[in-house]
Structure 1
Amino acid sequence: MARSAPATRPERVLLVHAHPDDETLASGGTIATLVELGAEVTVLTATRGERGEMLTPELAPLFGDGPRVAAHRESEIAGALAALGSPRHLWLGGPGARPTDLPVRRYTDSGMQWGPDGRAMAAEDSPADSLTAADLGEVVDDVRAAIRSTGADAVVSYADDGGYGHPDHVRVHHAARYAARAEEIPFSMIVDADGGAADLVVDVLPVRPRLRAALEQYRSQLTVDPIDTAEPEQLSYVMPHGARIVAPAREGFRHDAAPTVVPATAQTFDEMTVGGRVGAIVVALVVGVLVGGLGTITHQQTIGTFPIGLVITTLLVAALLVGTRMLFRSRTLVAAEAVAILVTSQVLAAVGGTSSPLILANAAGYTWTYGPAIIAMIVLAWPTLPPRPAPPLGSVRASESTDHSA
């Protein structure tokens, strides 16, 4: 049975989260582990959770007062990050997470409501300055600014559903993912370590005391259960909606696959529309006339005794006909070019007459007269090769995957 992958140690890691407490709930064990390993960790928080619930009676009066809630949650995240080992902290839109040519801005909590399926959904009254109301491009640029200011080697955030559907989480996922791709650095998503989708699993039991201390800072959002002397390593807490959550012993991450880029392929003659085929034939005739005229005029040119004109024009004819056959897989276009070359050379020879002949009765003249026809017959006689089948999408990725199950 394969062992879990050990926690890796990227030099600099940027974790992007939506609200204070998300960094601890979703990735606190990994943050503490990375800090202990000596990595340079930065937590980027998008909003101050202004619309979060206030769980304890003494904090309940703050509910609905955005500025006061924000101030309180700023103090909570400061304490939590200190407990996790004091990673660097940035606010999205603030210094270090905003393009330097733009004034700083403050994204606010979009709020949420529980849908009939038990998952979070966007609140109907999200404020105008909320994260989800902001232009996604602006949010992406702010995350990119954070990547650059921290020199991050990797970005971590939620999976595409935001974990449980919160609109701010979903927005953060898209912004972080697009920003990482734009900066050409790896992006990893937080997933269930035991759900079979994780590429990397981090054992967070060794840092369980740090995680407990961090969770205890968020008294407005959750209540940490006392230590069970029978199971001292177990850590659980109660959320505002009453659900009791058992903190996992492992945290999982799935690496984002680079977008599949399908190389553009030239359209073959048979794949063209009727209008496209007519246009292609006209172009082939025009190109053939140009090549035929050029060859007829220059094939007698020499450098000393070397027939430079004949060599160049013959190679040009061969390249044109062979290239057309291979690129467009069409005998029709090759025939059109060949006919245009031959007719043009004969017309020009007739126009020149005997007083100023363009095609002489010598080796170069005979070669130019019959050479293009011979090349055309060879190219036209080639069998049509079947197209090379493309490998199934994802086959390369599948071959590179590694089993990280316990």
Structure 2
Amino acid sequence: MTEADPARPHYPQQGAHRDADAVETLLPEGLAASAATVLFVHAHPDDESASTGATMARLAREGAAVHLLTMSRGEMGEVIGPEHAELDVRTRDPKDPGDALGALRETELSAALNALGVTGHRFAERPKGGAFRDSGMSWAADGTAAPDPRAAPDCLTRAELSQAAAAVAAEIRRLRPEVVVTYDADGGYGHPDHRRTHEAVMAALPLLPDDALPRLVWGEEGEVDAGDTRRQAVIRGDLAAKERAMAAHATQIRVDPGHTFRYSNDVVQPISPVETYRLLAARAGARPAGAESVSAPGPETEAADPDREPAGLISSAITAVAVGLLLGFLGTMLHASVAYFDGWYLPWGAILAVLGVFTGTVWTAGFTRRRGLTLMPGLAAFALIGLFTLGRSDSRLVIPTLEAPIGVAGIIWTLGTVLATAVGVVIADRTVLRGIGRSGRRR
């Protein structure tokens, strides 16, 4: 947490409300924890531990691949205790950007993640390089979080939203998580960087290719709203690991006996093993495990269904070969069609036949969703052309030669099949197969 000028601070209490239809997992239906990748996106070092530490530790213990993206290094933080008091944003030189505090908080974060059992972590980077600096915050007279007038020009809240969204999108594309977890729109207790992080995650979703969209996106629940109809998840996690992780952030958090803690403003808060979330977005067809239906998060955040399940390997292979044999036969029958003009000719049949092979290659890629089968139509067609070319000398259907227009058509048909297949494979790989592995599953 980073703050300045506290004035009767107010924090929401975790686990204070449970909906009757709340689910008890963040994972989508049908996905075991051991097969899941979950990405948490937080604003500063210490937020992951205080806000979602129990959940992260539980997921890691259950075998999920848990990753954290931290948007800033917490350079605008206050400091607890005398050991590093010179780094406190309240007392250091106003011209000091806080790099030393940021470096110290990196070390604390590493220890905290070790306590949670989380090994995957990165700090967000701008698209053209460089970090987002902590924006800081202040407390308004009513005890709510407000912007810090000392926020630097390169801080998270002053950066273009598109830059922060691009940073989040890049990490999602890299990890391909089934689940993404961040803040709700209110940012928990309202920190400007928390709000901006929520905005960045939601703005990142439209930037993703369909195959990279997470199945579920959750937001850490802030103030309880009895009228909130979005699906709630109530997670009872690992309290001991959460407390150890919070204690690792020694410049920011003091963990007290009795499962309580304080930030630098000395407001006593309970440390809860229960953490609650609201569903922010769901890919079409996806729903949390244990939910009979998905409470609609709203059209502005709902993502499209990216992929259907691929057909079986045997049926896909049979289809690919059948398409190739059909195209090879029809193309051979058509390729000899030549239009003659005054002094020149157009082998239109061969051209159409080659285009048919290209179309069949791309179609097969989209139907089978398997890279290894994309070559099959072209190979089958070429094999059939070979039979027609090397058959009995008195009954050949394909005669590749430069001595006559029909022979030129034969060359176009034979070599064009190879070229059309190669081009079709490349285009399919960059379009319909982007993000798909050889098995047809999303990578």
Please say whether Structure 1 and Structure 2 have the same fold, judged by a TM-score greater than 0.5. Answer: yes
> Of residues 76, 82, 87 in structure 1, which corresponds to 2:119?
87
Once residues 214 and 18 of structure 1 are traced to their aligned partners in structure 2, the CA distance between those partners, rounded to angstroms, is: 16
Change in 2 beyond 3 A, CA 1:237/1:130: same
Matched residues in 2 for 1:181 and 1:13: separation? Answer: 19
How far off is 1:224 after superposition? 0.6
Distance in 2, Cα, partners of 1:181 & 1:202: 28
Amino acid across the alignment from 2:78? E
Task: Tell me the residue number matched to 2:170.
Answer: 145
Task: Write the mapping of 1:69-218 to structure 2, written as runs, cut at 5 A.
Answer: 69-93=101-125, 102-183=127-208, 184-185=213-214, 186-191=216-221, 197=228, 199-204=232-237, 207-218=238-249
Task: Work out whether residues 183 and 195 of structure 2, in 8 Å CA contact, stay in contact via their aligned partners in 1.
Answer: yes
Per-residue deviation, 1:181: 4.7
Tell whether 2:276 aligns with 1:252: yes
CA shift digits 1:115-171 (9 cap, x unpaired): 111111111121111011111011101100000111111211111111112111111
SS, match of residue 132 in structure 1: helix
Aligned to 1:268: none
Deviation at residue 176 of structure 1 after TM alignment: 0.8
Identical columns (%):
34
Q: What amino acid is aligned across from residue 36 of structure 1 in structure 2?
A: R
Q: CA RMSD in A?
A: 2.1
User: Could you say which structure has the higher helix fraction?
Assistant: 1
Once the two structures are superposed, what CA deviation does each residue of 1:366-385 show, in whole Å capped at 9, x if it has no partner?
xxxxxxxxxxxxxxxxxxxx
Counterpart contact for 1:15–1:43, Cα < 8 Å? yes
Task: Tell me whether 1:241 sits opposite 2:265 in the alignment.
Answer: yes
1:111–1:123 Cα contact (<8 Å) kept: yes
Q: Secondary structure at the match of 1:216?
A: helix
Q: CA deviation at 1:37?
A: 1.2
Distance 1:151 1:118, change over 3 A: same
Counterpart Cα distance in 2 of 1:131 and 1:194 = 27
Q: Is the partner of 1:202 in helix, strand or coil?
A: strand
Which of 2, 8, 11 matches 2:36? 11
Label 1:156 to 1:181 Cα distance change in 2 as closer, same or farther (>3 A). Answer: farther
User: What does the per-residue CA deviation read over 1:87-135, in whole Å, with 9 as the maximum and x for residues that have no partner?
Assistant: 3101000xxxx6xxx4321110111111111111111121111011111
For structure 2, list consecutive stretches of 5 or more residues without a partner in the other structure: 1-18, 28-32, 281-295, 301-443
Task: Map 1:283-294; keep pairs closer than 5 Å.
Answer: none
Q: CA-to-partner distance for each residue in 1:257-300, whole Å, 9 max, x for gaps?
A: 45437xxxxxxxxxxxxxxxxxxxxxxxxxxxxxxxxxxxxxxx
The answer (yes or no) to whether the contact 1:193–1:250 under 8 Å persists in 2 is no
Provide the C-alpha distance between the structure 1 equivalents of 2:38 and 2:205, rounded to a whole number of angstroms: 11
1:28 counterpart = 2:35 = no
Give the aligned partner of residue 307 of structure 1.
Answer: none
1:38 is the counterpart of 2:38: no
Unaligned runs of 5+ in 1: 229-234, 262-406
SS at match of 2:248: coil
AA at the equivalent of 2:23: A
Render the CA deviation track for 1:55-81: whole Å, top value 9, x for unaligned: 111111122351110111000000000
Q: Secondary structure at the match of 1:254?
A: strand
* Cα contact 1:120–1:166 (8 A) shared by 2: yes
